[in-house]
Amino acid sequence: MSISRLNQIHKKACLDITHLRPRAGGSAHVNHQDFDISMSKYFEDNDNCYAFGYFEDDKLISWIGIRFNDTVAYGRFWTITCIYSSKFTNYLDFNNPDIGLLLQQAYQCADEKQYYEYYYCIAERVAGVYERLWRKNKYVTPDRHTKEIVEVIPPMTQPDNNLYWRLMGCELKSDSTVIKKRVLKPEYRSLACPNE
């Protein structure tokens, strides 16, 4: 097994994985045209958007898209824009290598680029279970980060905040959605300047 940064030659295999199920690895199915429009930059030599793949015997099994942002409102932060897997289980398990190693690579990349804040969202009804599973994660050390609830979005409500709306996949949710961020503790941060 190995993890590699993906490029144009991997696009079709990634698209194929997105079509295996309506939701694969936590991300919704995307049609071919939307995939080309929204995801092409992840497979180019782009310093803000990355795609990493998990391979077994040179076959792409799972992949993740991550985006780095630098804004006036939020500063430097990163998000996972999608994660897809061709391995299906009945529940989310961060300890499966196809997901766990991709998350480890995403966090490592963010740390190296000195993006220390990670934003994400989760349905309020499963947030506790998600956090318990995350604490048992053997690929990303959970105590390196502090966690903060940024906002709770009521059911069937579109937030005014564009970042929160994007984190929600630009779709209304039937449950309350919790917007959270994880911040890398200062003692784990690189001492180099971001532009050096």
* Whether 70 contacts 76, CB under 8 Å: yes
Collapse the DSSP code of 127 into the 3-class scheme (helix H, G, I; strand E, B; otherwise coil) and give the result.
Answer: helix
Query: Secondary structure of the chain: what % helix, strand, coil (to 5)?
Result: 35, 35, 35
pTM, rounded to two decimals = 0.88
Least confident of 3-17, 26-40, 100-114: 26-40
Report the CATH fold assignment for 2-188. Aminopeptidase (3.40.630)
What per-residue confidence (pLDDT) applies to 196?
41
Domains of the chain, residue spans: 2-188
Q: Which helix (H) or strand (E) holds 6?
A: none
Say whether pLDDT at 26 is over 60.
no
* pLDDT, tens only, 49-89: 999 999 999 999 999 999 999 998 889 999 999 888 888 77
